[in-house]
Amino acid sequence: MMDFSNTLVLSLAGKDKGRIFVVLKTVDENHILYADGRRRRVEKPKLKKIKHIRILGSAGIADVSKATNGMLRKATAAYLDTIQKSNQCTEQPADKEG
């Protein structure tokens, strides 16, 4: 069984589809518990099937068992910030004909 703890994931199904979360715990070979610190808090993580998520990368939290809602918000915001910066770097200005 793989351990997905401390991993950023993208939800692929359900009412949270398209949102980014941090995996708090791997329950069994088919399920994880995750939260994002906003709608889904650490105090009440969501049980989700692994087949309904896409792994994005490491969350970078030292000890996910002691994670706070603020830590989760910072981890997801940092990931979104790096994605936005990489998109800005790859965009090329359109040719202007004059």
Q: Which residue has the tokens 């105090």?
A: 43
DSSP three-state, residue 98: coil
Separation CA 41–CA 72 (nearest Å):
9
Strands 46-49 and 7-11, by their bridges, are unpaired
pLDDT, residue 71, reads: 92
Q: Is the pLDDT score of 96 beyond 70?
A: no
Q: Which residue has the tokens 């995996």?
A: 23
Domain ranges of the chain: 7-87
Percentage with pLDDT > 90 across the chain: 65
CATH topology of domain 7-87: SH3 type barrels. (2.30.30)
* Residue type, position 37, single letter: G
**pTM (two decimals):** 0.83
CB under 8 Å to 51, separation ≥6 — which residues?
A: 30
